[in-house]
Amino acid sequence: MKDFDSLKNIWKQQEVKPPADVEALVSKAKRIRREYSSKIMVKILALSLSVVTLIWLFFTIKFESVFTYIGMGLMSVTIVSFIFLSLWHFMFFNNIDFTENPTNTLKKLEKVYSFQKLLKTKLFFIYAVVLSIGLGMYFIEATASFSLAVKLSVYGSTFLWFLVSYFYIGKRQAAKEEKRLQIIIDAIRQMEVEMSGDECLGIK
């Protein structure tokens, strides 16, 4: 199989444009990547805003319980860790060149797919659990003057938030992102088939 850059040079020398199918597949892959990357960046910005808010609360409000500070610290560290993982995912994915050898591109996309699956399953589970624990510790002081019924309601809501976040929202978003990645992978596989037919392209 010839490298796509080599094929483009040959097409340029022969004054022949790359096959329309290949160009269309590359364009499709780039479009889907832009949409996918935009959503990742929105999440990163939202999480960053959450960290800024926690830091502001940490230094502007004097809490009496050490559990409150521990809880806020847990939440901050957890969110920052998730931001860095998401940022690495974003940068690696955006550095993939869809015009290089399709076989190499597929290997990189499979790495992105595997990491995305890990990020949205095991890592997101740890993220949700630690974040819930931190939030629970924060509520110890925040709900100290509340009645037992209100406290149970708050902690029940926190537990419900964890269940909904992990088992519904998280899994639903993961399925959508996997679908987008799979579309790109399928497009690159199709491009590999298109480019492997040198004879069909009239190149020997």
Does the pLDDT at position 164 exceed 60?
A: yes
Distance CA 65, CA 74 (A): 15
Chain-wide mean pLDDT for the chain? 80
Residue with tokens 């709900």: 143
Does the pLDDT at position 48 exceed 90?
A: yes
Fill in the amino acid letter for 6.
S
In this structure, the dihedral spanned by the alpha carbons of residues 84, 178, 33 and 186, taken in order and rounded to 10 degrees, is 140
From 107-111, 176-180, 192-196, the region with the lowest mean pLDDT: 192-196
Contact 166, 124 (CB under 8 A): yes
3-state helix/strand/coil string of 102-139: HHHHHHHHHHHHHHHHHHHCHHHHHHHHHHHHHHHHHH
Fill in the amino acid letter for 184.
I
pLDDT at residue 103, rounded to an integer: 83
* Reported confidence tier of residue 201, pLDDT bands at 50, 70, 90: very low
C-alpha pair distances (Å), 139 with each of 66, 72, 142, 153: 12, 10, 5, 11
B/e letters for 116-147, b = 16+ CB within 10 Å, e = fewer, are beebbeebbeebbebbbbbbbbbbbbbbeeee
Does the pLDDT at position 144 exceed 70?
A: yes
Contacts of 97 by beta carbon, 8 Å cutoff, 6+ apart: 105
Contact 96, 105 (CB under 8 A): yes
pLDDT at residue 19, rounded to an integer: 52
Contacts of 112 by beta carbon, 8 Å cutoff, 6+ apart: 89, 92, 93, 96, 181
Closest CA to 112 of 204, 181, 41, 17: 181
Instruction: Indicate the pTM of the whole model.
Output: 0.75
| pLDDT tens track for 53-79 | 999 988 888 888 899 999 999 999 999
| pLDDT tens track for 74-115 | 999 999 999 999 999 889 988 888 878 888 888 888 898 899
If one compares 171 and 7, the residue with the highest pLDDT of the two is: 171
pLDDT at residue 195, rounded to an integer: 67
From 24-28, 44-48, 110-114, the region with the lowest mean pLDDT: 24-28
**Residue 18 backbone phi and psi in degrees, to 5:** -60, 150
Fill in the amino acid letter for 194.
E
